[in-house]
Structure 1
Amino acid sequence: MRADRLVSLVLLLRQHGRLSATALARELEVSTRTVLRDIEALSAAGVPVYAERGRHGGFALLPGFRTELTGLNHDEAIALLTAGSGRDEQVFGLGSALASAMRKVVDALPESHRSSASDAAGRLLVEPETDLLSRRLAIEEVPDATMVEVRRAVLAGHRLRIHYAATDQSPRWRTVDPIGLVTVRDRIYLLATRSGADRTYRLSRILAAEELPEPAQRQNRVDLDRIWQERCAQFLSEGHLTVLVRVNPEQREELLNSAVAVRAEASDADGRLRLEVTFQDARHAEWALWQLGTNAEALAPQSLRTALYDRATAMAARYGDSS
């Protein structure tokens, strides 16, 4: 365990340049005292790690230091092989590269671990194409040429010209500064800025793309997870309708499949679920709840309850005549 931790410590310093003892302890999930002991052990073993004092100090490796740290333990090999077995292997157009990397991982394993790791990975299935009801999951296709151009621009830090078909708009060309790529439920999004304003583009709607030679206007370091959370919050606050719903637990997934997002969820005393969900607009909410019939009840807003009542009254009048 300590050998793996020492390797991880060196890799963290190599990737980040300089980290404080507190940051290293957080990444390695140990105490700062353990980190200091590990630093001493690395120094004694000849690894040129040194301390920088001051407010922004920490530990770092001497510039130019390199060493081969290619050993994988059994669980690490299983994790890589399992991750490479899922449908996400085609994400970002890197399927062939991932397959090649998996072959190298297997080849690099000790003979005693090779067969057991492959067998273990074969017993772990990641995101199959269908669920228990045999419903195929929708996968958005992105042309290889488009994916390659977008990925190159993102990684190289170059501007990108895209022919984009926004909802209810004619396709047109735009020049953007790419920040990063995010994949969510088999959809890939390009996070970018255009003329300094935040923009999010779905890759399946990019009809063509061209990497430009000029550098993108963006920060050197990026926290994609934070940016994605901010974009999601902004998206949910723009023109959507929030609805409070009581629903039978059996219909929960059906409701969530039609909603844009879930803001809150709790259980009532009678076993029904109370959810605060977001829909695109009032028409979308009315349609979604009508599909659930008496298995769901809209508690708010009142305008939605009135719309559902009017629809139900009109339907009852239509079929009320026994003749």
Structure 2
Amino acid sequence: MRSMTGYGRLTKNIGDYSYNVEIKSLNSKNLNINTSISPLFSPLELHIQNLVKKYFKRGTLRISVDIKLLKTDDIIDVDLGLAKAYYNALNSLINELHLADDVNLEDLLKFKDIVKISIDEKTIDDIWEGAKEVLKEVIETVLKYQKEEGKDLKDFLDGYLTELEDIIIKIEENAQQMKEKYREQLKHNVNSLISNIDSIDENRLEMEIVLLAERADISEEMDRLKSHTRRFKNFLENENNNDSIGQELDFICQEMHRELNTIASKSKILDITNLSLEGRTLVNKIREQVQNLH
């Protein structure tokens, strides 16, 4: 079990390149990858995203990849001929306009086509091999961080789930009282019906019995609620759940909330209504924690 919150950073020299990689992982319903890298190495961005997608299914990932070239002779090309042409043109302009200025290096560097930086495909491949190695190390750091956070979240969820199971037991204990209450109400309604008419309308009597029975019966809701809690607990106890389980648990929370709503609306027993509302509050707390899970 992993949270969606994580952090990792590493600076490492590999060959002729220095890599500084930082990854921050934050909560998000879907997977969002934001990559910061120099335009010079923009061909690596797709490689980075494809690598990251192998390890993360949810969350917002902010990835910074800073690459420094320890050896630059092979990628910098200075067009001396073009530089001389610009120099002569500027000097001619100064002389023609009788200016007191001189042409310096700063003036020439304003012409972007004099100095060109280019990296061939083979060099990009070499740079990617080093970047991939560093990225994997940082990803492992982030995953370790997320697993530690996941352990803390599991402890919270275990505690909340135990409280919810206690509430379910109390609701079941009160459910029998609710049946007795409806039985008494049924007797009262039947007696009232008989006393106000000369003959008993069997159909109406049957309808009254059915309606009251339906109102009193929360057994199906309780069965589903217990099934949801068992399923939730199985997810927590299964150590092989290495994939994204946050969305699955979030769905279970929605279903538990739905059943508790139905129980609260059906019940005419104040204790059951209060217990159902208390259960809904717990489910909301559980869901808040679940939404932090990967």
TM-score normalised to structure 2 length: 0.19
- Structure with greater helix share of residues: 2
**RCO greater where, 1 or 2, for CA within 8 Å and sep 6 or more?**
2
- Structure with greater strand share of residues: 1
TM-score normalised to structure 1 length: 0.18
